Amino acid sequence: MNQAHPTGDFDGLAALVTGGASGIGAAIAALLRDRGARVAVLDRDPAGAPAGTLPVKADVTSDEAIRNGVAEVVAEFGALHTVVGNAGIGAIGTVEDNSDEEWRRVLDVNVLGLVRTARAALPHLRAAAAERPGAVSITHTCSIAATAGLPQRAAYSASKGAVLALTLAMAADHVRDGIRVNCVNPGTVDTPWVGRLLGRAADPAAERAALEARQPTGRLVSADEVAAAVAYLAGPAAAAVTGTALAVDGGMQGLRLRPA
Ligand code: NAD
């Protein structure tokens, strides 16, 4: 167990993290593991799943692949208590830039991916909730793009707006099953995803400095900081928390700073 979290508040719990082989998802999977959970990482490319987790190769655009993946996890762990729907992709552009096909792809991964994951997991979560009241949850990785009005992110923002609404609707639908549903809204997080975006800039170092300067805190959010928020929402300390979106954005959305 990680000495930073000696309580082992996920001891005896089984967790599934989609998109857990990179960036935010990998940080979540590693943290839940360190806090005592048995953790499965469902990813289309699971090579980067943290050590000590169960890698499951599945694409969230396939209902069958997710069903099989969830069945594999439950067969291995004997139960499922904690689901983190985190797999997501980006799209850059205005409504004039992206084709219907590009829109469908983003919505398929970012929104329907969560729907398929929940559909496959819910029967197992319901069964687990009967035995472990308060300990069973679904947490989505949403984004400040859901409500911020970011330029050049029309399809991505629409997908994350849908994730926010989906989270609230699912929280209402499953509260009486003993299943809590929440989301985190990260700002700009230092992950391979952002690295890829910066890599396309003419001067990546200058672009990174400009990005950092736009953050109220003067720095990007770390994947570990998002993971800590997810572990809170998924863990027993949040037993009374459902239907909530927790911003982890260095103040990007809430603060209105005076120009320097
Ligand atoms: P990342 O690209 O580093 O990791 C994404 C992971 O998801 C990868 O392991 C990838 O293989 C997996 N994945 C992608 N599509 C998949 C699919 N169809 N099926 C299965 N697995 C799939 O990205 P990240 O920055 O860690 O982002 C993770 C989540 O966080 C996404 O939902 C993203 O929208 C959200 N987010 C990221 C940021 C940021 O600044 N990085 C900000 C807000 C929200």
Q: How do residues 142-175 score in pLDDT, each as one tens digit?
A: 999 999 999 999 999 999 999 999 999 999 999 9
Angle at 232 between CA 191 and CA 168, to 5 degrees: 90
CA of 205 to the centre of ligand 1 (A): 22
Fold of 14-186+222-248: Rossmann fold (3.40.50)
- Per residue in 4-24, pLDDT tens? 554 689 999 999 999 999 999
- Ligand 1 pocket: which of 189, 207, 221 to mutate (most atoms <8 Å of CB)? 189
Closest Cα to residue 245, out of 187, 134, 148, 168? 168
% of the chain beyond a pLDDT of 90 = 90
Domain extents in the chain: 14-186+222-248, 190-220
- Which atom of ligand 1 is least distant from the CA of 223? 26
> Could you report the per-residue pLDDT of 115-126, keeping only the tens digit for each?
999 999 999 999
- pTM for the model stands at 0.97
Q: In angstroms, what is the span from residue 259 Cα to ligand 1's centroid?
A: 32
Predicted complex ipTM exceeds 0.90: yes
Catalytic residue among 60, 145, 156, 248: 156
pLDDT at residue 83 is higher than 70:
yes
Residue 260 has a pLDDT of: 64
Report DSSP letters for 212-254, one per residue: HHHSTTSSPBPHHHHHHHHHHHHSGGGTT--S-EEEESTTTTT
Q: Distance between CA 35 and CA 61 in Å, rounded?
A: 30
DSSP assignments along 117-138, one per residue: HHHHHHHHHHHHHHHSTT--EE
What pairing do the DSSP bridges indicate for beta strands 137-141 and 180-186?
Answer: parallel
Mean pLDDT of all residues in 61-84: 98
